[in-house]
Structure 1
């Protein structure tokens, strides 16, 4: 379990429901896009990890879950097994194109725009229900907890609180090392019972001669041919190192800067990064000049509810939200917005300077982020997946995400990951599909008791059953029931749902 930013750090959300339809950025349907949404004032990385593993996704501080049975273009969560990934022929073509550009300065002719990109989810602006003092107190150590909250733990909670078996430092560093409780004998106590009995020198010499003779007689059969690696697939990382020659025409540098809370490097490069975003939105998404405003840029791609968190067994850079900036000859040409979470790197958005569209920067940045995930996994073994956001099978131009193999799609009913090869055939026949074909499989984190859902009311954390007993006026149980069923029992018992 990841250690939270503070001992009593909570995720605090306001739920919006999902009855209204909005314009779809993929098929352009004016009111065909349906999703449930909530505003997250603050969120721990573990809570967000659990939410995206239930089909949620963030755009700025707005966290939404597409209503797959109702929306015009169903969006299924997709992840790539970064450690097992091998670039395809088309991926290698993109990598070689970039290498050629950096080394020789040759920009491909034509105006190909590479992969189609995700559209920004137009979530609502920040609601003003929650008083800042309530946020501060709920995020800190002085938050109150209602006495009636002390309910017996569920079976799922009991299981999750069992500590892992302790392992020695020696066994972690050296898998061959085996610790034993047996003690070495003292001088004069006789032979060490843990070691084999002594043998005569004459017998040892005889055995060595015999072994030498056998080796000489069977020399040909014993010598194994030196393995050749000509047929071994080239590691992804090697493609990036090829473009680092001293005499290269261009210099490409990738910098990771924390965007929330904003680091010094992020602040220093903010204006340059925003200008690239503005050009990208106008050229690629055909936005009018006044739409990609600085406030919109901050709201969707800079603001994040995720707390900056660090863990002894986590990556050195920590968890949270970052911008991965691509600097070409001292200028920003592309930016990948990413979240680093306990088990994955999650891609949020990518924007680039339209003058370099021919370099297929959408594909190139995804390959870079897969390599980055592999790098982080060496520091944090659990962090082994690369999440590409949503896969949209009903929109042919958005199927490119399925080319990063091996990859899985999230089953919308059981919330288990299923290899994409077993899913695409189902989606050919129907826009909505259950991927897990086991009829007995269900959601193991399904809501069982809405009364256990935590709420934040008047600066006090309490279970919903306590709050509903105090509440005056119309019941809000239907809304809370819907929210809790979408986030699941585990998250409902950890996340604070704001109640006025």
Structure 2
């Protein structure tokens, strides 16, 4: 399947449009969309928790979506829902052991941290080595990254960098679909990172989890369709990572990420997040309502999930009033309630 968003795509002559015009387009899209969902359960009995490994202590509402417009799904994630394939779910925070709060980054205000700069430098170092592994004598000058705009420039430069006449880093975006190299990468990742049984990793499950989507692809005036995509990362023409993302009216939403564990030293999880932030900034040039990068759920009671707070400035969704609160304020509240950490709430 051909890529739909190459660097050249961002050089189109489309005129910039206002948010009011975008909203009119979305209304038109919704009028032609049939939103079909089936309510499945509210999980009264509870299920096992993948974070604290507790049994019967994770509760959620569940719904199976056949077709939904991207605007409807945007509204859903702004009320605490997420999707896994076509299954949509909303954690019940006051009942669950590890409350999950929706987190989003204000992409246009992104502050590049020292640790994130180090990840980019690590990739630069990898890319500027000669075939025999030695350092190049005349090293290229990658853009200095200190703002969202310079982050965009860094990725553009990196993708056009061709030592010895050959492109080293290539990032493509295509509509989510089953492809053997992607499935093989997924299988290797699940075995090495999550210790899954190789015999139980089937293409059918991969498709249901990371390919199937209820989102209806919808065009807009800038010719960038909203919908579900696979963002693929290649080094020297080898597939090393795939990010599953949704492009929605207000955001780029991260769904899942997998990488080749042979390249663990490159911190590809962080690298992909930086690329997805860059993508949201680039899309904002044409889609003025698209200002955010959604990182899924922030779980303060799980130390492994706190890294998301490093992407600044970020906000958490208040589960009662559905407004956004700066994460610094939320963390302060969380820390004040440490003695009851399993039932952390924003308000």
Aligned partner of 2:17 in structure 1 is: none
Name the CA distance, whole Å, in 1 between partners of 2:117 and 2:204: 38
Name the CA distance, whole Å, in 1 between partners of 2:259 and 2:298: 21
TM-score (norm 2): 0.82
Contact 1:105 1:250 in 2 (8 A): no
Contact 1:337 1:347 in 2 (8 A): yes
1:206-233 per-position Cα deviation (integer Å, ceiling 9, x unaligned): xxxxxxxxxxxxxxxxxxxxxxxxx993
State the 4+ residue runs in structure 1 displaced beyond 2 angstroms.
3-8, 231-235, 237-246, 430-436
Q: Does residue 89 in structure 1 map to residue 2 in structure 2?
A: no
Counterpart mapping for 1:20-419 below 5 A: 20-104=45-129, 233=146, 235-243=150-158, 244-247=160-163, 251-259=168-176, 262=177, 270-312=179-221, 315-419=222-326
The one of 435, 438, 454 equivalent to 2:346 is 435
Q: Does residue 425 in structure 1 map to residue 332 in structure 2?
A: yes
Residue 242 of structure 1: CA displacement?
4.9
Name the CA distance, whole Å, in 2 between partners of 1:241 and 1:99: 13
Q: Does residue 16 in structure 1 map to residue 40 in structure 2?
A: yes
Aligned partner of 1:478 in structure 2 is: none
Contact 1:36 1:66 in 2 (8 A): yes
Give the SS at the match of 1:31: coil
Name the CA distance, whole Å, in 1 between partners of 2:28 and 2:189: 36
Residue 250 of structure 1: CA displacement?
6.4
Contact 2:74 2:250 in 1 (8 A): yes
Residue 373 of structure 1: CA displacement?
0.3
Contact 1:413 1:434 in 2 (8 A): no
1:372-413 per-position Cα deviation (integer Å, ceiling 9, x unaligned): 000000011000100000001100111001110000000011
Name the CA distance, whole Å, in 2 between partners of 1:7 and 1:232: 42
Q: Which runs of 5+ in 1 are unaligned?
A: 109-230, 437-500
Aligned partner of 1:115 in structure 2 is: none
CA RMSD of aligned residues (A): 2.1
1:313-333 per-position Cα deviation (integer Å, ceiling 9, x unaligned): xx4221010011112222211
Residue 256 of structure 1: CA displacement?
0.5
Residue 4 of structure 1: CA displacement?
5.5
1:432-455 per-position Cα deviation (integer Å, ceiling 9, x unaligned): 44535xxxxxxxxxxxxxxxxxxx
Contact 1:323 1:336 in 2 (8 A): yes
Q: Which structure's residues are more often helix, by fraction?
A: 2
1:342-370 per-position Cα deviation (integer Å, ceiling 9, x unaligned): 11110000001111111111000000000
Contact 2:106 2:292 in 1 (8 A): yes
- The structure-2 alpha-carbon separation of the partners of 1:329 and 1:3, relative to structure 1 and needing over 3 Å to count, comes to farther
Name the CA distance, whole Å, in 2 between partners of 1:317 and 1:39: 27
Contact 1:42 1:307 in 2 (8 A): yes
Larger radius of gyration: 1
1:271-327 per-position Cα deviation (integer Å, ceiling 9, x unaligned): 011000000010011111023210111001000000011122xx4221010011112
Name the CA distance, whole Å, in 2 between partners of 1:394 and 1:105: 45
Give the SS at the match of 1:93: helix
1:59-87 per-position Cα deviation (integer Å, ceiling 9, x unaligned): 00000000111111111000000001021
- The structure-2 alpha-carbon separation of the partners of 1:356 and 1:83, relative to structure 1 and needing over 3 Å to count, comes to same
What is the count of residue pairs matched by the alignment?
Answer: 303
